[in-house]
Amino acid sequence: MAAAPVTDLSDSRFLRACRREPVDATPIWLMRQAGRYMPEYRALREKYSILELIKTPELACEVTLQPLNAFDLDAAIIFADILPLLEGLGLVLEFARGEGPVLHNPVRTAVDVEALLVLPPEEALPFTLKAIRLARRELEGRGIPLIGFSGAPFTLAAYAVEGGSSRNYEKVKGLMMGDPVTWHRLMEKLSEAVGHYLLAQAQAGAQALQIFDSWVGVLSPDDYRTLVMPYSHHAIEIARGGGVPIIHFSTNTGGMLELIREAGGDVIGVDWRIDLATARERLGNGVAIQGNLDPVALMAPWPELRRRARHVLDRAAGQPGHIFNLGHGVLPRTPVDNVRRLVEFVHESTRR
């Protein structure tokens, strides 16, 4: 397949912020900016399952572009999910109605881990790579960079071992504590798969990458340092071969923010549980920061939403290297007009 367009967007507001360079206004994009809060997306979901949307490149491209056509966002993020990577390793994935994602053959033993087959991303996840190429073509001339992404090794391991979402993460922690040899082998495989998947997305045309460690906040700092951080670092180092900025996002990790930075990333994404200025001070000057509005605030009446957005911007203090985002994804009942007004407010109130 022909390569995606190669228009240089390095001077775009978003990519400049990733490099901690001055910008004319604070850039904003939103995790899950394409999703159920948008009527255009709901119309597609009436016809197609979530996996059909993800695995049909033309549809994934269409969904990727929906929020860009509705709002003046500074970046697109490819419409995908973190779990098909596990499917590519040999797990059986189902998005069960009312239950969320279910993996029918969870990884619990050394035999299970050895059975995982790490294929090249072009074989395991060709649909997402094609969707990236299509989206880059559609975005050509609009000056909007495209973000690719993957789950981080721990978050993927949590899904793989638990067999889906979890409240206490007893099974994955049990594997870490009870069979460390098997745990390290699992993380070795996942870090290779994640790193090469991110690299392939950059090679397909993604101009930035985000690694999501959504569940790593359930760990102690010591467990993260010894049992997880080396593998996140390895995946990020592989992805660095793509030559694009890497955003390292995690939630509920205020107790180990310095370790998250040590694991790697040009931008550290933080959630609303930590003050933005405090996070920036702890991270130091060598990385940009992304965040950190509570997603529920995006559902609030406009005066309250504006107040909270203003607070985030005040804590960022206009310093280079801040990308406005939520602390997690847009919620399904979010009013579309609130998203529009937030994007306009961030731009208008930070014009320099």
Q: Name the residue ranges covered by the structural domains of the chain.
A: 13-349
Single-letter code of the amino acid located at 202: A
Among 16, 37, 41, 159, the one annotated catalytic: 159
Helix (H, G, I), strand (E, B) or coil at 210: strand
**Per-residue confidence of the chain (352 residues) as pLDDT tens digits?**
455 555 678 899 999 999 999 999 999 999 999 999 999 999 999 999 999 999 999 999 999 999 999 999 999 999 999 999 999 999 999 997 777 899 999 999 999 999 999 999 999 999 999 999 999 999 999 999 999 999 999 999 999 999 999 989 999 999 999 999 999 999 999 999 999 999 999 999 999 999 999 999 999 999 999 999 999 999 999 999 999 999 999 999 999 999 999 999 999 999 999 999 999 999 999 999 999 999 999 999 999 999 999 999 999 999 999 999 999 999 999 999 999 999 999 999 999 8
Give the torsion sign (CA, 203, 269, 190, 165): negative
Distance CA 15, CA 321 (A): 10
CA 252, 82, 218 angle in degrees (round to 5)?
25
pTM for this predicted structure = 0.96
Distances (CA, A) of 287 to 32, 178, 271: 23, 36, 16
φ, ψ at 8 (rounded to 5°): -80, 110
Residue type, 210: Q
* C-beta separation of 190 from 83 below 8 A: no
- Size of the chain in residues: 352
Residue 8 is predicted with a pLDDT of 78
Taking the C-alpha atoms of residue 310 and residue 17, their distance in angstroms, rounded to an integer, is 19
Is 185 a known active-site residue? Answer: no
Active site residue 97: no
Fold of 13-349: TIM Barrel (3.20.20)
Q: Is 159 one of the annotated active-site residues of the chain?
A: yes
Q: Side by side, which strands form the sheet with 246-250?
A: 76-77, 146-151, 208-213, 246-250, 267-269, 288-293, 322-326
Q: DSSP alpha helices (H): ranges in 284-335?
A: 302-316
Strand partners, 325: 292
Catalytic (active site) residue 32: yes
DSSP state of 5: P
Catalytic one of 45, 185, 273, 306 = 45
Would you state the structure tokens that stand for residue 288, as one six-digit string?
């940009």
| Residue whose entry in the numeric block shows the structure tokens 């059986």 | 92
- Structure tokens that stand for 148 in this block: 């690719």
User: Which of the following is catalytic: 32, 133, 240, 280?
Assistant: 32
Q: Are 178 and 102 in contact (CB under 8 A)?
A: no
Give me 223's structure tokens. Answer: 């467990």
What lies within 8 Å, CB to CB, of 30 at 6+ separation is 67, 73, 325, 326, 329, 330, 339
From start to end of 214-278, where are the E strands? 246-250, 267-269
Single out the catalytic residue among 13, 41, 74, 81.
Answer: 81
What phi and psi values does residue 213 have, to the nearest 5 degrees?
-115, 70
CB 195 within 8 A of CB 235: yes
The answer to whether residue 352 is catalytic is: no
Catalytic annotation, pick one of 36, 225, 282, 315: 36
Question: Which residues partner with 210 through β-bridges?
Answer: 149, 247
